[in-house]
């Protein structure tokens, strides 16, 4: 009972601190005379834009089908009939004579704003990099444990080189040097840099995961007639994967965050989109908070998915 009260008390303390933080941010923005304009943000995520549909030629409205939202326009000069579908507002009725350029209908267009496009780009670049990073990490991790010195030294060299230099520098090298030599576009160069960078960290996770499996597992698998590859695929890696899921999740989340650095090579990811929106809205606080929130949504969804997976894999415990 006593502890329960205590718990409640500290939860209240937590909420109080969070409130203070919020108030603090608000007050400090007042102090620097900042006017919050949150209403400007949504349009950069999604906007509804009216699209005017104009007559392409002189003619008459031959048919209006209200139910199917479809009108047909016949030309005076023998052009093919012009058909408009899925309009939201109609400006003519059946039999009307129209001239070229007249507005005959309006459509409402849902447009994704730059922040949404940025989010999609960030998602795309992270997902593609992740796939390659996993492949690189798996093979380098295995090479790291190989008895072949060439493979072992190669993997160690790669891991040390990548972990010893900043990602930003690697992105520049990939874009300006390797990208020029191999004629890579921005996206490919960005993905390559992120995959190679993350792959080095995943390799270390894979190595430690495999090493954490009791050698008896490999012996049991081999003594049943499996070759090394079969033993790895069916016995060692499934166990290692389960054990390395938490550090892998951390690495995936890092990858999403690290992807913001590709904005330096003019890939319009979420961060670059944020910068562009700031320059057109003059609402930097709101934009950066919104961008942070969007990153949080991505990373949060990923954490959640991996936790689900962990629960499912825990069935054998």
Partner 1 sequence: MTNADNKSIIVAIDVDKIYPNGCHALKKVSLTVEKGEVVVIIGPSGSGKSTFLRTLNQLETISSGSIVVDGFDLNSKHTNINRVREKVGMVFQSFNLFPHKTALGNVMLSPRKVLKKPEQQAEEEGRELLYKVGLADRMDNFPSHLSGGQQQRVAIARALAMMPDIMLFDEPTSALDPEMVGEVLDVMKTLAADGMTMVVVTHEMGFAREVADRVVFMEEGELVFEEQPDRFFSSSNSRLQRFLGQVL
CA-CA-CA-CA torsion sign (6, 12, 18, 24): negative
SS3 assignment, position 78: coil
Residues 6 or more apart whose CB falls under 8 angstroms from that of 125 comprise: 187, 190, 191, 194, 259, 262, 267, 269
* Residue 216 sits in the site that holds partner 1 (CB under 8 A): yes
* Residue 227 sits in the site that holds partner 1 (CB under 8 A): yes
Stretch that binds partner 1, among 110-118, 140-148, 211-219, 300-308 (CB under 8 A): 211-219
DSSP string, 235-280: IIHHHHHHHHHHHHHHHHHHHHHHGGGGGGGT---HHHHHHHHHHH
* Residue 147 sits in the site that holds partner 1 (CB under 8 A): no
Whole-number Cα distances in Å, 279 to 28, 40, 287, 288, 289: 22, 13, 10, 12, 15
Closest distance of CB 231 from partner 1, Å: 10
Closest distance of CB 137 from partner 1, Å: 21
Stretch that binds partner 1, among 9-17, 231-239, 258-266, 271-279 (CB under 8 A): 231-239
In this chain, which of 226, 278, 302, 309 binds partner 1, going by CB under 8 A? 226
Stretch that binds partner 1, among 105-113, 173-181, 191-199, 224-232 (CB under 8 A): 224-232
Burial class (CB in 10 A: 0-12, 13-18, 19+), 125: buried
Find, among 251, 245, 255, 249, the residue nearest to 123 by Cα.
255
Find, among 231, 187, 234, 236, the residue nearest to 208 by Cα.
236
Of 164 and 225, CB closest to partner 1:
225
* Residue 303 sits in the site that holds partner 1 (CB under 8 A): no
* Residue 234 sits in the site that holds partner 1 (CB under 8 A): yes
Neighbours of 134 (CB within 10 A): 18
User: Interface mask (CB under 8 A) for partner 1, residues 1-40, using x and -?
Assistant: ----------------------------------------
Stretch that binds partner 1, among 39-47, 138-146, 155-163, 235-243 (CB under 8 A): 235-243
In this chain, which of 111, 230, 266, 307 binds partner 1, going by CB under 8 A? 230
Of 31 and 315, CB closest to partner 1:
315
* Residue 116 sits in the site that holds partner 1 (CB under 8 A): no
61: β partners: 73
Closest distance of CB 232 from partner 1, Å: 12
Of 12 and 220, CB closest to partner 1:
220
* Cα gap 162→165, rounded to integer Å: 6
Positions of E strands within 130-239? none
* Residue 225 sits in the site that holds partner 1 (CB under 8 A): yes
Stretch that binds partner 1, among 69-77, 136-144, 213-221, 255-263 (CB under 8 A): 213-221
Closest distance of CB 242 from partner 1, Å: 7
| DSSP at 39 | G
CA-CA-CA-CA torsion sign (22, 27, 33, 37): positive
* Residue 245 sits in the site that holds partner 1 (CB under 8 A): no
In this chain, which of 56, 238, 247, 250 binds partner 1, going by CB under 8 A? 238
Summarize as ranges the residues that interact with partner 1 (CB under 8 A). 214, 216-217, 219-227, 230, 234-235, 238-239, 242, 315-317
């Amino acid at each position: 009972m006593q502890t329960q009260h205590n718990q409640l008390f500290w939860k209240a303390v937590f909420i109080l601190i969070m409130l203070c933080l919020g108030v603090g941010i608000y007050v400090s923005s007042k102090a620097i005379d900042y006017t919050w304009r949150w209403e400007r943000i949504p349009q950069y995520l999604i906007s509804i834009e009216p699209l005017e549909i104009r007559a392409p030629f002189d003619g008459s409205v031959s048919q209006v089908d209200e139910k199917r939202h479809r009108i047909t326009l016949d030309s005076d000069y023998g052009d093919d009939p012009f058909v408009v579908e899925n309009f939201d507002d109609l400006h003519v009725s059946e039999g009307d004579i129209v001239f070229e350029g007249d507005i005959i209908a309006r459509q409402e267009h849902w447009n994704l704003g730059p922040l949404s496009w940025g989010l999609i780009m960030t998602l795309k670049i992270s997902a593609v990099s992740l796939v390659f990073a996993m492949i690189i990490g798996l093979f380098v991790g295995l090479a790291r444990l190989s008895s072949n010195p060439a493979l072992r030294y190669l993997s160690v060299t790669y891991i040390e080189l990548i972990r010893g230099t900043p990602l930003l520098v690697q992105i520049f090298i990939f874009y300006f040097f390797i990208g020029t030599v191999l004629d890579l576009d921005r996206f490919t160069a960005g993905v390559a840099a992120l995959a190679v960078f993350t792959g080095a960290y995943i390799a270390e996770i894979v190595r430690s995961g495999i090493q954490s499996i009791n050698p008896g597992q490999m012996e049991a698998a081999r003594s049943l007639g499996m070759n090394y590859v079969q033993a790895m695929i069916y016995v060692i890696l499934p166990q290692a994967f389960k054990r390395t899921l938490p550090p892998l999740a951390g690495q995936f989340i890092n990858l999403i965050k690290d992807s913001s650095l590709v904005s330096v090579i003019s890939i319009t990811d979420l961060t670059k989109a944020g910068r562009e929106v700031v320059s057109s809205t003059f609402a930097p606080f709101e934009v950066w908070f919104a961008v942070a929130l969007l990153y949080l949504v991505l990373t949060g969804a990923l954490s959640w998915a991996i936790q689900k997976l962990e629960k499912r894999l825990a069935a054998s415990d």
